Amino acid sequence: MAERSRTNPDRAVVTRRLGARPRAMSADAHEDVIARVVDDAVALGSFVILESVVSTTRRALSTDDADALLLRFAQSVSRYARPPTSRFHVGAAARGTSGNVYLGVNVEISAVPLNHSIHAEQFALVTANANDECKLEAIATTDAPCGHCRQFMNELRDAPGLRCVTRKWRSPLAELLPHAFGPMDLLDDGETLLLEKSSVDASGMNPQFATLAYVHGEKSPPSDDLMPLTRLLERHGDDWNALAPLALEAMRKAYAPYSSSRAGIAIKASCGGTFVGWSLECAAYNPSMSPLQVVFARMVAHGKDLSSIEQCLLLECPGAHVKYDCTVRLTLEKIAPKAAVIVANIGHENIA
């Protein structure tokens, strides 16, 4: 996707920075090592600590406790949280089976309902998803995961065994969410779950069959005539056609097993860069993430101001049970009131 080129840090540079260190270090020196590793991941716009850097850090700190190190990453990254309402900073760090660590922070959005907030655990899972991690084995958080996040993490394969680490305890998710309601209560065995690779049937997302649902600033309703997406967007400028393949790729990445309502979003920011987001559903529905929440997480990972959004292209399925159109437009009116928004329906049928 548009951000991918920034997600792989220079391993040699990071390793040299951690390189030769004295065998015995003070607590402050330990914290300095952790802080610099996290700061590097943030500065690169990835929020990812590669396995090679994690291993080098463990050697530098002379520790074999991988979960304790994970917690220290979570504590350090909490400095980057954006909680204007609660002023309560939360950090999360999730370790994949690849050995990479995916960071997350809580993000609160001023002037919109609280349910638009992004929880640190959700942010970390988005980071893992954006970087094609297939499975998580542990997640550390600066405070106990709330029920909302426990339910969202339950979308993972083998979620009951996911190790949850805090300052006070280490427990599998099954102990934090006993007698859980989850994906297999609604889906058939063998269904693809969150983070897993899926073979998406793109027949229902054919950009040759598109209609405009909303165009910012136009008084007359868009036409229902089917035509290629590029033709629909061309009269609005080349910038919109540049966003189209990004939004379509994001739509294909969506996780929507409960409603089959895949959605993808691509935005252009005045402060530089294009970013994408996709819908992520949850069996309990309310902990689901909209494509706009996902794109907000990706922008925060790159250190961008959400108010810098100047263009937003949202692609949805015609006849979908779940639509994000109104929510996206109302939220952007508060966050980036000058942003131009176009919503298009892609395909001639709902996606199975």
Residues with catalytic function: 121
Helix (H) or strand (E) holding 171: strand 170-172
Single-letter amino acid, residue 226: L
Q: Taking a C-beta distance cutoff of 8 angstroms, is the pair 345, 351 a contact?
A: no
Number of neighbouring beta carbons within 10 Å of residue 30: 16
**Angstrom distance (rounded) from CA 216 to CA 152:** 33
Q: Taking a C-beta distance cutoff of 8 angstroms, is the pair 239, 312 a contact?
A: no
Single-letter amino acid, residue 141: T
Q: What one-character-per-residue DSSP string does 181-249 give?
A: --GGGTS-TT---BTS-----GGGG-TTSEEEEEETT-SSPPP---B-HHHHHHTT-HHHHHHHHHHHH
The two tokens of residue 234 are 């061309």
- For 319, residues 6+ apart whose C-beta sits below 8 A from its C-beta are 349, 350
**Angstrom distance (rounded) from CA 137 to CA 75:** 19
**Angstrom distance (rounded) from CA 334 to CA 327:** 11
State how far Cα 160 lies from the chain centre: 22
- For 77, residues 6+ apart whose C-beta sits below 8 A from its C-beta are 38, 41, 42, 47, 91, 92, 93, 103, 104, 105
**Angstrom distance (rounded) from CA 325 to CA 316:** 8
For the chain, helix (H) and strand (E) counts, in that order, are 11, 11
First-residue to last-residue Cα distance in the chain: 24
